Amino acid sequence: MIGKQAVNPYLPNWEYVPDGEPHVFGDRVYVYGSHDFFGGDVYCMGDYVCWSAPVNSLGDWRYEGVIYRKDQDPHNGDLQGNLYAPDVTRGPDGRYYLYYVLSTWGVVSVAVSDTPAGAYEFLGYVRYPDGARLGEREGDEPQFDPGVLTEGNRTYLYTGFCGYGDMGRHGAMCTVLGPDMLTVIEAPRFVAPGVMYAGGTGFEGHAFFEAPSIRKKDGLYWFIYSSIKFHELCYAVSREPAGGFEYKGVLVSGCDMGIGTYKPAEKPMYYTANNHGSMEKIGDDWYIFYHRHTNGTNYSRQGCFEKLTFREDGMANQAEITSCCGIKPLEGRGEYPAYIACHLFTDTEVTYVPWSGWMDDRFPKITQEIRDGGRGIGYIANMRDSATAGFKYFDCRGVKKVTVRTKGYASGTVEIKLKWDGEAVGSVPVGYANVWKETTAEVNIPDGVHSLYFTFRGQGHLQFAAFRLETEA
């Protein structure tokens, strides 16, 4: 039933493109990110790929193919360097420049293409006029996660990573490059503090961690970054691109931390970890792109996005994570895959994806089947008693029955609720099944726009593949 509706994750269930940097070029939006694999055991195992969509149809994504391979960097002959989060800008010559940092080396590499979707060819390394590479000169801090903005003949390059306890990394940096897109014409300046230097700056509690990105909106420069809380993308604004940024708030949290409209503000609604993304104006509206974690690990991340809203002062409200990208409620009829759940939790409250194997034993996870050339269906695995999958939002009209597709060594019921802590409006009995099995029950869903929550009550572990909303009794 998804069709051309915008849903999260916005790419197919088998695709894993985190760290998304959206850019509108012409009449299409292109997303550049790193490339995880299903079942991956480290970050960013794949070559760069690109997906794009028409600016007026954000549910119609097209695969543009591999745009840059990790063996193209001359420094990566042994392939030990993975391609970490990139960004792309259009240079003053009209060509497109891709900036990235290898996982094994703290310098910025650059590739170039005549078209937004590539393919890109290696160009060189960001360097000082004397040829020394940025990040290698004495006093330089290691480069990481480049974000870029070009205005005229100047390109502003934002980089950095700052963890707890590291006094040697001060914060996010801005370096200005000349028209050749490689040469430093203004040395790095710090624009947002790391956690060890955030005291008294206004960034306390939301200090810079990684994922610097930059956009310009209404004459202000918006610096977007992942904070020391990992799961949230924050923003600071300035009238100048290379300094003067003031912290303003959170754009999105991967677990809806901070959203207090439908739940307690500090209650996590999804198993989260790091975050990376940015905002972009697409058509008449602004959106924030981010990623979620799947398969019970940190290494199989999928891209999502939400529509942004703004206050009277022009600053952004924190976006709520949804299954419908915050654009338009999904049609309240037909079949939907369970992997588009935006909420996933149990009665045991956990915020971060655990690093050990106990995640598989106690908590549900979004995963996929291994078949069809690695493109098997996505589903929710290991739903034990109290496990809840939430979907937002649906425009329900005349819904009379709900069918769930499940399997596994489980016996009990799947309760259907309109709120995460609400009363059940229907209950579907489920039992042991070795293959996917459909079960139907009547529900009492009033007409209107609703969230839908599916909670397993019973014994064993349930696998949940899909549900269907039916309008005939």
Evaluate whether residue 87 is within a structural domain.
yes
Residue type, 440: T
Evaluate whether residue 13 is within a structural domain.
no
Q: How far apart are the C-alpha atoms of 335 and 1, rounded to whole Å?
A: 5
List the end-to-end C-alpha distance of the chain, in Å, as a whole number: 20
Residues 369 and 418 in one domain: yes
How many other C-beta atoms can be found within 10 angstroms of the C-beta atom of residue 102? Answer: 19
The token pair at 386 is: 């109290």
Tell me the chain's radius of gyration from C-alpha atoms.
23
The token pair at 40 is: 């991956």
Evaluate whether residue 16 is within a structural domain.
no
Query: Domain count of the chain?
Result: 2
Residues 130 and 249 in one domain: yes
> What letter would DSSP give residue 339?
G
Which of 296, 331, 248, 285 lies closest to 5, judged by CA? 331
Which of 353, 375, 376 lies closest to 364, judged by CA? 353
Residues 176 and 264 in one domain: yes
Evaluate whether residue 220 is within a structural domain.
yes
Instruction: Report long-range pairs for 345-349 (Cβ below 8 Å, ≥24 apart).
Output: 345/268, 345/269, 345/270, 345/271, 345/387, 345/388, 345/420, 346/384, 346/386, 346/387, 346/388, 347/386, 348/386, 349/267, 349/268
Strands 28-32 and 246-253: unpaired
List 140, 210, 280, 415, catalytic entry: 210
Is residue 91 within 8 Å of 105, Cβ to Cβ? Answer: no
Which of 141, 236, 246 lies closest to 188, judged by CA? 141
User: What does the pLDDT look like over 325-362, one tens digit per residue?
Assistant: 999 999 999 999 999 999 999 999 999 996 555 455 78
What proportions of the chain, in percent to the nearest 5, are helix, strand and coil?
Answer: 5, 45, 50
Q: Please count the CA atoms within 13 angstroms of the CA of 91 that sit on its side-chain side.
A: 18
What are the beta bridge partners of residue 367? Answer: 379
Residues 446 and 345 in one domain: yes
Q: How far apart are the C-alpha atoms of 324 and 25, rounded to whole Å?
A: 24
List 19, 64, 73, 306, catalytic entry: 19
Residues 177 and 75 in one domain: yes
Evaluate whether residue 1 is within a structural domain.
no
Give residue 137's Cα distance to chain centre. Answer: 33
Residue ranges of the chain with per-residue pLDDT less than 50: 358
CATH number of the domain within which 180 lies: 2.115.10.20
Prediction pTM value: 0.97
Q: In the block, which residue shows the tokens 């543009």? A: 64
pLDDT at residue 361 in the model: 76
Q: How far apart are the C-alpha atoms of 169 and 343, rounded to whole Å?
A: 35
Q: Is 210 one of the annotated active-site residues of the chain?
A: yes
Residue type, 426: G
Residues 273 and 204 in one domain: yes
The parent domain of residue 386 ranges over 330-470
Residues 94 and 179 in one domain: yes
Evaluate whether residue 8 is within a structural domain.
no
CATH number of the domain within which 456 lies: 2.60.120.260
Domain final residue pick, 307, 339, 358:
307
Q: Is 19 one of the annotated active-site residues of the chain?
A: yes
Residues 275 and 334 in one domain: no
Residues 436 and 382 in one domain: yes
Residues 259 and 380 in one domain: no
Is residue 396 within 8 Å of 377, Cβ to Cβ? Answer: no
Is residue 182 within 8 Å of 148, Cβ to Cβ? Answer: no
Residues 40 and 141 in one domain: yes
pLDDT at residue 355 in the model: 56
Residues 129 and 236 in one domain: yes
Question: Per-residue DSSP letters for 222-259?
Answer: EEEEEETTSSEEEEEEESBTTB--EEEEEEEETT-TT-
Evaluate whether residue 15 is within a structural domain.
no
Task: Look at the alpha carbons of 168, 87, 29, 284 in this order and tell me if their dihedral is positive or negative.
Answer: positive
Evaluate whether residue 312 is within a structural domain.
no
